[in-house]
Structure formats: C-alpha cells, structure tokens
Amino acid sequence: MDITNPAVIIFLKESYEKESRLRLNWINNNRAKIQEAATLQRAPTNYFESDVISYSMKEGMPTIIRDHVVAGFNRKKIPIRDGKFIPRIKDLRHGHSIVDIGLGDAEKDPRLNRPETSLETDPVMRPIDPKLKEVLYKAKPEFGRTQYLKIREKTSPENKFYFAECPNWDYGWRIGDSELKERAKFGRYWRLTRDLRNRVGPTPDPPHYKASEIPGPSKCAND
C-alpha cells in the first residue's frame, strides 16, 4: 500500500474517523455497565499479602498432618524387594570380562587371568609381540623407534587394542566378525570380473573417461 497516494490517505483518514465514532458510540451506549464493572460492590477487607499466605497455610495443615501419619505408618512396613539378588561392585565382572565376551585370551595375555572379585581396570592395549619389541633395542638405522612404528602401523587397530580408543576406529571396527560380508561392486577386482564375464567381453572406456584435449592444432590429428 502506497501511503503517499492521496487516495490512500483519504481512505485511511475516513477509516480512522469511522472507527473512532463507533468506539465512542459503544462507550456511550454501555456507560452504565462499564461504571458498574469498575466499581467495587462489596465492603473492602483491607487484606495484606501475609494474610493471604497464612490463610493458605492453615488450609493445607490438615493435609500435611494426614501425610505425616501415613508416612509414619508406612515406615514400619517391611519393604518389598523386586529381586532377591542385587549385584554389587564385586559382581560386575562376572560374565562381562574381556575373556567372557571373547575379546581376549588369558593364555596370551596374563593380565586377564584375574579373579572375578578383582576391581582392577581391564587393560586397554593387547600384548605386544616380544620379537617386535626387540626392534626398539637394536642399532639404527635398520632398527629403532622409526622402524618399530612402521611395523606396528601395519597391524590393524583391533589387533592392537581391546576396544576402540577414538571415534575414527568405529567405522570398520571388527568388521571381519560381521556375517554381512559382500565383495565391493566398484573395486578393481569387480570391474575386471564384470568385463570378462560380459556378453561382449571387455569394452573400451567411454569418451568422458578420457583426458580433455588441448584446444588448437594437434600433431596426432595432422598425421
């Protein structure tokens, strides 16, 4: 709406005047009702806020007394236990240790050979091969810390640790234990197998797989 338009200005002015007349007319017609609603029709009580609060407290006292009596009666009852056996800290490792869930072997890692009542934390890293440790203590440059880390890097994290230690290991962690194994459909092996078993045999790559040619004259084209 363009408020700078003279026609719009006249329209708005007439609308405001009409609204004002209607409001004044309604007030004049209902003056008696408005006056009656705005006038206090009962005797003033002169209550304070503290009087209202004390009244609410007095009304709630019977309920407090009743609940106190009921609570005292219930405290004398013997509680009903849902379970006869309540596991405690010493029972937490029973059936939940690394050996019980099949992640480790006590013969390969003596640290796992502990009683069930032991409250020691489970080891984080799997035992390292003693032959691999010898690499650290041999002379450089064939051996040493750098060579040890290179050899250690080739081992998958799940063979070095009992549990995933960082979020990057969650993807693919212990994927070898999964029953949903499927060969990749877009890998190099699958592409070769698909082409060899194709009805027409291996086919050349489509044109959009080739590298783009440089604009201008070409020696190959001239030949």
For the segment 43-91, what is each residue's pLDDT rounded down to a tens digit? 777 888 888 899 888 888 888 888 888 888 888 887 777 767 777 766 6
Within a domain: residue 79? no
**Are residues 97 and 130 both part of a single domain?**
no
CA distance 39 to 54: 28
Q: Considering the domain boundaries, does residue 114 fall inside one?
A: yes
- Asked whether residue 141 falls in the same domain as residue 162, the answer is yes
How high is the pLDDT of residue 28?
92
**Based on the domain organization, do 116 and 128 belong to the same domain?**
no
pTM score of the predicted model: 0.41
pLDDT along the chain (223 residues), means of 10: 84 92 93 85 81 88 86 81 70 75 86 80 87 83 82 88 85 73 59 67 71 66 48
* Domain count within the chain: 3
Residue 18 lies in a domain: yes
Q: Are 135 and 158 in the same domain?
A: yes
Q: Does residue 6 belong to any structural domain of this protein?
A: yes
Whether residue 132 is found in the same domain as residue 100: no
Q: pLDDT at position 17, please?
A: 94
Q: What is the pLDDT of residue 62?
A: 86
CA 70 centroid distance within chain: 44
Kindly list the distances between the CA atom of residue 156 and the CA atoms of 129, 170, 176, 187, in Å, as whole numbers in the listed order: 14, 13, 11, 21
In a shared domain, residues 105 and 118: yes
In a domain? residue 210: no
Look at residue 213 and tell me if it is in a domain: no
Full domain range(s) for residue 134: 124-176
